[in-house]
Amino acid sequence: MKYKASCHCGKVAVEFEGEIQEVLSCNCSICQRKGSLLWFMPRAGLKLNCPEDAASTYIFNKHVIRHRFCPSCGIHPYAEGVDPKGSPMATINVRCVEGIDLNTLRVKQYDGKSV
């Protein structure tokens, strides 16, 4: 299925394909505050529908995940990093995906606070 996601004001927008059935709810210091529900995919499958510099980047802790957010409205629609094998990955904040019913998704809890 093809999806679109964006920040609140629409300045940061992406699209991608996949089957979102299960998402991750992480309790690390940033995810808990953002209330993100995360879905992971290869970075090559993420298409930006905005200029690369439309999104600002926040990096913290181990500096391996680039949290991408809109500098105007503050919403974080996606992040970029690498998986344990070193492959480029994208993480979608499913709460920013258009037309998705969050109640139909399985939510897996992840203890990011302990990592």
Task: Label the pairing between strands 66-69 and 56-58.
Answer: antiparallel
* pLDDT tens digits, 61-75: 888 899 999 999 999
Question: How does pLDDT run across 75-89, given as a tens digit for each residue?
Answer: 999 999 999 999 999
Structural domains in the chain, sorted by start: 2-100 (2.170.150.70)
Quick one: DSSP state of residue 103?
G
pLDDT in the model for residue 64? 86
115 falls in which pLDDT band (50, 70, 90)? confident
Q: Which two tokens stand for residue 30?
A: 């940033």
For the entire predicted model, the pTM comes to 0.93
